[in-house]
Structure 1
């Protein structure tokens, strides 16, 4: 599903080159969930952006569904993101002028995979029944994040990438959102890569790796 092989990434800074990732390799199979942990600034989000084709490695290859992401031009990477990836962030990134149901179906419509029955099922599973015509500002934080997860899963992506998906929520809401995320991922059999600093978030996932000084290490929780 997703493979990074000997990936290197360095950024130019006023203080000189900053090496963020060094010889990073990982594989993620269909239906598998993986937590990526590390201290702030360790390169977790950089790795996620590389996996999504939002940034390019200096060296190495990134393969998604058999395609070398780094070798594709930006229009092709954008098409791949629309059709194969779901993205969930700490900030909800909902469209304020769209209703709940229109936010939910937005990504699926862009991917030309809109399915009214699947959208209705997601609304029910997300606990948003009866709120379809509300706007994001009329929802709680937990409801907004559940909606963001539904939007990412509406096109039935092959891979879901989540960057601190419960970081803006209280402990109770975070637990509910995580349980729902893992349940829906299991139902759809998409692969899941979660960037998190939380051991509570990482614990239920199939595997956990940590980034330290640019290197990827196995982590035992």
Structure 2
């Protein structure tokens, strides 16, 4: 589903290039869930941006659903994002002028895969059916995050990328949101790449890897927190 092959990425600084990823190799199979851990500044967000085609590697190859992102123009990468990817971040990025129901359907509409029955099921499972006509500002933080997850999964993407999806929530709400996220991921059959600082969040996923010095630490003692 997702392949990083000898990927290098650096950013210019006044002191010279800052090497973020250094020959990174990663493979995520269809339907597999992977937690990616690492210290702040270790390159986790850069890896997600490369996986989504929002940035390109300096060297090496990133393949999404078998497509080499570097060989596609931006319009083609945008199409691939719409059709194959769901994105969930700490910042919910909900559209304030749209209702809960319309926010949830937005990504499916953009992908040309709106499914009224699936949207209704998502609203129910997210606990948002009674709030469907409200606006994002009228929701709690946990409700907004559940809505962001539902919007990402509404088109039934092949891959879900999640960057600290429970980082802004209290412990109880975070646990509830994570459980719901993993249930929905399993039911849709999509692959999941989740970035987190929390060993507790990483524990239920199929695999855990640590990003260190621009590469994955494959030591099995470090792979599972």
TM above 0.5, yes or no, is yes
What is the match of residue 143 of structure 1?
143
RMSD: 0.6
CA distance in 2, matches of 1:171, 1:37: 18
What is the match of residue 25 of structure 1?
25
How many residue pairs were aligned? 221
CA distance in 1, matches of 2:30, 2:78: 21
TM-superposed CA distance for 1:64, in Å, is 1.1
TM-superposed CA distance for 1:5, in Å, is 0.5
- Asked if residue 109 in structure 1 is aligned to residue 142 in structure 2, the reply is no
**Pairing 1:59-78 to 2, within 5 Å after superposition:** 59-78=59-78
Moved over 6 A (4+): none
What is the match of residue 86 of structure 1?
86
TM-superposed CA distance for 1:110, in Å, is 0.5
What is the match of residue 208 of structure 2?
208
TM-superposed CA distance for 1:216, in Å, is 0.9
CA distance in 1, matches of 2:137, 2:14: 40
- Asked if residue 220 in structure 1 is aligned to residue 224 in structure 2, the reply is yes
What is the match of residue 96 of structure 1?
96
CA distance in 2, matches of 1:143, 1:189: 23
SS in structure 2 of the partner of residue 151 of structure 1? helix
What is the match of residue 11 of structure 1?
11
- Asked if residue 122 in structure 1 is aligned to residue 135 in structure 2, the reply is no
SS in structure 1 of the partner of residue 174 of structure 2? helix
TM-superposed CA distance for 1:220, in Å, is 2.3
Native 8 Å contact 2:99 2:134 kept in 1? yes
SS in structure 1 of the partner of residue 131 of structure 2? coil
What is the match of residue 162 of structure 1?
162
* TM-score (norm: length of structure 2): 0.97
What is the match of residue 185 of structure 1?
185
Unaligned 5+ segments in structure 1 are: none
Native 8 Å contact 2:203 2:224 kept in 1? no
CA distance in 2, matches of 1:96, 1:28: 34
What is the match of residue 194 of structure 1?
194
* TM-score (norm: length of structure 1): 0.99
